Structure 1
């Protein structure tokens, strides 16, 4: 169960808002007059799964008004216990609201000092782990790395047609990858590269099963967000493995191994494109879209454009992989 607090002016379409509350068939609700005489508070207790409908209806009722706000609060427990929803009545699956998902994603896509520090630390851990063939260190770098945040932010921005979130996520992702590449390249001049390291060399082995892994990881990340199960993101970060391929690119380039650096770069591009595409698909299947019809049209164009762009990157990367593999076979033959 959730609690929605609706703060609004006393005479500002109050009856319309109250009608929307009653239409949602809440578990309970109450109305309070606040210390500010021109303000009122409606607290609504509602079953999980129908919050988005109520929020959209209330926002539509208050379209063009000012000075209102809706807050969502989780209810950990309640007594007496609620009866199960009857079949066909409020039997919707549990899903976070659009506003909750947006807040979580925007926080993860923020470019700030903490993000840069986390990228620097995880790059150092990944670079040393890859070069020393340390599996534990590489896994630790995967978990630390915050690069999944801007990837999900990019997908969410496309799903909502939010140009601001798209730009912010693109800048954050580019900064994160740029810092990782620059730092790993600098470390390559300090650390003697170990081409016997299995962990390092696997980042130059681009296989199509890695594409399936990245697609599944992106879908799982988006699904965990929409289902309010953010704890699952740690496992997704490990599976996605965005940072180790980036660190491998810097190590190979610093050692002059340009073919290996290209293959690691292809792996990184595959992972990023697959994550974005699969997250976009999940957001659409979960009906994460803007409220108004006009905004939905803009979002549909953004989704189509970014899906085509991600698909192009995937196809181009796979074509380059096949070309490199064919070249190796010819040279060996």
Structure 2
């Protein structure tokens, strides 16, 4: 009896993209809209997509870890590599990864659309493993900078793909909550780097272990993506409808596949009829939204960079871990509260954006 009911939920009739378009057109008509519901009566289980989201957030954890991995060991690194007292070299060791992140982020969208989300994650893990290994074994400043640059390219590639992937594989009713995991993972990575760097003053060469440790989550990210679902949105845009249905079944359950495919068909038809050019980022209808986003995100980024710089400054302070970890924790809690209000009270993004500045 249980097997029979399970089969009812997991089996459905596969349809072609044209069939989904026809069904979507019928549902949009005013004649049938009274007899066919516009949305599902029940939500899919969040447990099905949770492991896939958790695996994707490893890239954000690595981003935070590599931001803070040199804060505590910087003095030991400069002494062992022979540039102790050279503030320019110390600044380059800290900031070179951000230059690499700029390069990685510029190509993240093209890579994710070209080879898929899962392979993009695996590709971002590769320079993180290679770069961290170079930094851990180097005996020169040039080797350290090369390793940090390679790590930075993975840092720039991973989080944008993670944001896209989490949005595409999450059920709508928990999409905002899952989206907050990326910021939480970043803060946890930063705190983990500061925590793991505490023994650097007592153990010679401990800073090399700090770099070696980062290869473990990077390897887990690359391996876990072999078992995670590919984005159904990407598969659908590639014309691989049957595979998109199979991935939706893994992420949402068989009973929700038909509705998800219909919504995906509507979204795809909207993309075709409403073409947006890249130049519209700088003028036209998209320019206002881009400006609001930049003006809203810039202070947040400034605060996060302040936390990073404060961590560097506090290398000479005995309470560095306490101050830096507390700042990261408060930053993370603020983001979680923001997403919690958005999910439960549905205040809307403009209202929350306004009140974030009042705080």
What TM-score do the two structures reach when normalised by structure 1? 0.31
Q: Which structure dedicates a bigger proportion of its chain to helix?
A: 2
Higher relative contact order (Cα pairs below 8 Å, separated by 6+ residues): 2
What TM-score do the two structures reach when normalised by structure 2? 0.30
